[in-house]
Structure 1
Amino acid sequence: MVKKRNRDPEILAEAPPAKTDGDDSGSDEDIDMVNVEFEWFNFKPDIDFHGTKSLLRQLLDVDHQLFDLSALADLILSQPTVGSTVKVDGEDTDAYAFLTILNLHEHREKEIIKSLVAYILDKSKSSPELSALGPVLSDSSSQVGLILAERLINVPSEISPPMYTMLIDEIEAAVEDEEPYKFTHYLIISKTYREIASSLDQEDAPRTKKSKAGKGSKETFYFHPEDEVLQRHAFLSGSYEYTKDEGEGMADSKRAFQDLGIKAQGTMLLIEAAKFEGAVKAICEYLSPPQ
């Protein structure tokens, strides 16, 4: 269990270190492993602006161009005691990962939130699975917390259970302090992908091209394993196409050493507040490293 952190941004309680183990003597493969010890911190406005903005750009993929990421990063950093960063080389370095939550109702007059809500509503209309999201956001009694979380590639998913556990603790403390974090729903914006036929195959011989042209899958794959767990507890969930074009060849650049290309897409999950703690517990059970 992760200890609750002191909400003073300068004083942090313990957070359990996560490591990638270099002792892999039982493996059949000769893989060099590096021991890395991760540390959890509150947001530090004078340090974390550029790192947070970079991770937001990665999270929103090609559609990051639609938003003022500087304003979004500033808003995240304005609430330093709610949410976490994960770092390796101390507090005064760029984050390898972050997780935060924003009250869409409380910040509804801010231009960046207006643009995010407009985007969310537009995407909800493009997917039958997301169609019920609009009425929730429009309901004056709803208090929706927008969760944004991202990490650099190769950062292990085991860092997410402490981040989500600490978020619950911090929300509880904020509510006790009568801050606006008492939510009815939690909305997660994330990324998934589908496998698609590769354009590189167009240069293959006709027989090979024909055999590969039909390849591809409607199955959705998750960049973040914890999102798949959250989806099982969601009131609604669905994926959508990005507004901006990835550009020719982008799917092939994400082939990940396989025949098929990868088509990234946005994903939204809406979880009722009563089920959020159970969803986080399930993440901990699924992703926490063995003791």
Structure 2
Amino acid sequence: MGKKRSREVDGQGDVSMADPAVDKKNEDGSDDDEDMDIVNVDFELFNYDPQIDFHGVKTLLRQLLDADAQLFDLSALSDLIIEQNTIGSTCKVDDKANDAYAFLTVLNLQVHRDKKPVAQLIEYLAERAKTDENLGAVVPELLASGKHVGLVLAERLLNMPVEVIPPMWTCLIDEIEAAVEDKEPYEFSHYLVVSRTYREVESSLDQAERKQKKAREEAELQYFHPEDEEMRKHAVASGTYEYTREGESVADSKRAFQEMGIKPCGLMMLIEAGKFPRAVQATAEYVGSAT
């Protein structure tokens, strides 16, 4: 596997990942599993390009922030991410000019705290953290302390293979190390990773008088991104929070022909900077063993 040329300004990458999961019928039209052909799909990592990546990054940010995405200036946040074109990656298929299927970046909350999209995120994350006992004991105070906290934002299309994730995270570690050597502001005390989870709940279409609180308590937490379950083990504090703009009908609207609906919620994982590389390594090992 190649490595993205992480510090190049032109943003061209050369990480290639072949996904063997795409199959094609035989030439005679049969679906025989024993004789099916394999179509390799090459995923490549690229640095951000302001001429190409705005809409793709904005779309993935909207997915990441879910019901609360409307609370933020996503255009300004997308611009800020793209400006950091040597930190983080986009993952694409076929050509750099296409929209990103996945993205990963880290923002210094202290350096950018006076910029509107970051100020919005700091206020939001501090308030949401207070709704969880574990997060509330650490995160709000840390965000107000003036320490350099790296906010990690990562999202991908739901049908993307998990194998694309380890190279993206590994590249990010290398890029941060290179940036610190160049005296750029990426030396953090902690990383705050924002992601999404969900619980299955009974739909109000099936049971008008369901006991919502009990259902939430009994439902097992599920992960949109399976690697989050492993990364969470390395956090000094982690927890989930409900979206402020999510109505009671969300479980129905996201049900998609199933008996159970899903109720998404946000996830925060606070990881000490010294433990972050090990967390990334463990995540890569977990993804490899799960596939």
User: Aligning the two structures, in what range does the TM-score lie when normalised by the shorter sequence?
Assistant: 0.7 to 0.9
**What is the SS of the residue equivalent to 2:8?**
coil
Q: Does 1:54 align with 2:56?
A: no
DSSP 3-state at the match of 1:81: coil
Which position in structure 2 is the counterpart of 1:240? 241
Shift in alpha-carbon separation, 1:261–1:32, aligned structure 2, 3 A: farther
Contact kept in structure 1, 2:197 and 2:222, CA below 8 Å: yes
Partner of 1:196: 201
In the alignment, is residue 95 of structure 1 matched against residue 96 of structure 2?
no
SS of the aligned residue for 2:5 comes to: coil
Q: In percent, how many aligned pairs have the same letter?
A: 54
Distance change >3 Å, CA 173–CA 274, structure 1 → 2? same
Q: CA RMSD in A?
A: 3.0
Number of aligned residue pairs: 283
Gaps of 5+ in 1: 204-208
Counterpart amino acid of 1:135? E
227-236 or 16-25, which deviates more: 16-25
- TM-score, structure 1 length as denominator? 0.88
1:136 aligns with 2:142: yes
Q: Tell me the secondary structure at the aligned position of residue 140 of structure 2.
A: helix
SS in 2 for 1:82: coil
Structure 2 CA distance for aligned equivalents of residues 172 and 165 of structure 1:
11
What corresponds to 1:155 in structure 2?
Answer: 160
Question: Would you say the 8 A contact 2:5–2:13 is kept in 1?
Answer: yes
Other-structure match for 1:206: none
* AA at the equivalent of 1:225: P
Contact 1:158 1:289 in 2 (8 A): no
> Residues of 2 paired with 1:290 and 1:130: CA distance?
28
Distance in 2 (alpha carbons) for counterparts of 1:23 and 1:236: 41
1:73 is aligned, of 75, 78, 82, to: 78
1:19 is paired with a residue whose SS is: strand
Q: Is 1:281 paired with 2:286?
A: no
For 1:183, the equivalent position in structure 2 comes to 188
Whether contact under 8 Å (2:13, 2:44) holds in the other structure is: no
Query: Can you list the C-alpha shifts for 1:19-55, whole angstroms capped at 9, x where unaligned?
Result: 1334699x98999975321111001111000110000
Q: 1:290 to 1:187 in 2, by over 3 A?
A: closer
Indicate the SS of the match to 1:285. Answer: helix
What aligned pairs does 1:200-239 form with structure 2 within 5 A after superposition? Answer: 200-202=205-207, 217-239=218-240
Deviations 1:204-256 (A, max 9, x none): xxxxx98xx976634211101111111000010010110102462x3134336
* Separation (CA, whole Å) in 1 of partners of 2:129 and 2:34: 45
- The answer as to whether partners of 2:113 and 2:119 remain within 8 angstroms in 1 is yes
What SS class does the counterpart of residue 17 from structure 1 fall into?
Answer: strand
Deviations 1:90-114 (A, max 9, x none): 0011000000010000101101111
Contact (CA 8 Å) 2:14, 2:46: kept in 1 or not?
Answer: no
Which has a greater percent of strand?
2
Q: Deviations over 1:165-213 (max 9, x none)?
A: 000000000001100000110001110001111122138xxxxx98xx9
What is aligned with 1:252? 252
The two structures have a TM-score, normalised by structure 2, of 0.88
Call closer, same or farther: CA 1:63–1:187 in 2, change over 3 Å. Answer: same
